[in-house]
């Protein structure tokens, strides 16, 4: 899917550049390349957002706002292109009304993006932010268990933390990881049994 999107982005960029060359040869206009480069930037920005949404973890909370961001960005891009077309064919891209309008659209995009992600910020503030992260668990295990007989179990845990576990955001919603978090934080006297329990819980995470 990602390769298909990259191919589509490259194809559209090539088509826009080709049209730019053809129209430039036939009828050179002031600000000609600025018009086509702006369209290419907007098109690739939308493709980049699509790729970002595909790369986002399936259980990430960002998925709640991504559709709204994608639709809003596409609508603002269309409006921006429409203004650029008006300026290109009927006036000039360097006219103050056009430049100011484009700046307004950029400002609206920034404000809208921050407004749409506001629920995530509020949610994160309400939730406990102290759930242990993968790299934090690795460091704690490394520091806490220094006994020689624990080395094999510790190595297994470290390998699984490094190579097998999903993204931290996904782990925060996993019951086994929450149990590991509880064990690590509540234990005053770390022992081999605790280490084995952590390993079992990690092996349950898919």
Taking the C-alpha atoms of residue 44 and residue 38, their distance in angstroms, rounded to an integer, is 10
- Say if residue 90 is in the same domain as residue 121: yes
Range of the domain at 196: 134-204
Query: Mean pLDDT across the chain, nearest whole number?
Result: 77
**What is the pLDDT tens value at each position of the chain, 206 positions in all?**
677 878 888 898 899 888 888 887 766 566 778 888 889 998 988 888 887 777 665 445 566 667 777 888 888 889 888 988 888 887 777 778 888 888 998 888 888 777 776 655 555 444 444 778 878 887 777 776 665 666 788 888 888 888 888 887 788 888 888 888 888 777 655 566 777 888 888 888 87
- Say if residue 21 is in the same domain as residue 67: yes
Pick the last residue of a domain from 126, 152, 172.
126
- Say if residue 46 is in the same domain as residue 86: yes
- Say if residue 47 is in the same domain as residue 25: yes
DSSP state of 164: T
- Say if residue 61 is in the same domain as residue 44: yes
- Say if residue 61 is in the same domain as residue 93: yes
Q: What is the pTM of this model?
A: 0.52
- Say if residue 165 is in the same domain as residue 79: no
Taking the C-alpha atoms of residue 81 and residue 90, their distance in angstroms, rounded to an integer, is 14
CA 170, 176, 178, 183 torsion: positive or negative?
A: negative
Mark out the alpha helices in 27-174 (DSSP H runs).
32-55, 66-90, 96-126, 134-144, 151-163, 168-171
Tens digit of each residue's pLDDT (9 = 90 or more) over 169-183: 788 888 888 888 888
- Say if residue 120 is in the same domain as residue 186: no
- Say if residue 121 is in the same domain as residue 138: no
- Say if residue 154 is in the same domain as residue 55: no
- Say if residue 6 is in the same domain as residue 67: yes
DSSP string computed for 43-76: HHHHHHHHHHHHHS-TT-GGGGTHHHHHHHHHHH
Pick the last residue of a domain from 75, 93, 126.
126
CA 191, 195, 198, 200 torsion: positive or negative?
A: negative
Number of domains in the chain: 2
Pick the last residue of a domain from 85, 105, 126.
126
């Amino acid at each position: 899917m990602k390769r298909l999107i990259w191919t589509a982005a490259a194809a559209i960029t090539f088509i826009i550049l080709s049209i730019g060359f053809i129209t430039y040869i036939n009828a050179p206009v002031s600000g000609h390349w600025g018009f086509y480069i702006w369209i290419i930037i907007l098109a690739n920005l939308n493709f980049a957002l699509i790729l970002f949404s595909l790369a986002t973890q399936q259980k990430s909370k960002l998925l709640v706002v991504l559709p709204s961001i994608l639709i809003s960005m596409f609508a603002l891009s269309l409006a921006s292109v429409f203004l650029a077309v008006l300026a290109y064919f009927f006036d000039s891209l360097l006219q103050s009304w056009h430049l100011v309008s484009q700046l307004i659209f950029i400002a609206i995009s920034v404000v809208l993006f921050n407004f749409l992600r506001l629920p995530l910020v509020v949610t994160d503030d309400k939730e406990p932010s102290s759930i242990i992260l993968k790299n934090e668990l690795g460091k704690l295990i490394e520091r806490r268990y220094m006994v020689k007989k624990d080395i094999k179990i510790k190595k297994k845990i470290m390998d699984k933390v490094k190579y097998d576990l999903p993204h931290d955001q996904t782990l925060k919603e996993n019951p086994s990881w929450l149990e590991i978090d509880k064990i690590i934080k509540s234990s005053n006297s770390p022992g081999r049994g605790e280490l084995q329990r952590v390993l079992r819980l990690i092996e349950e995470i898919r």
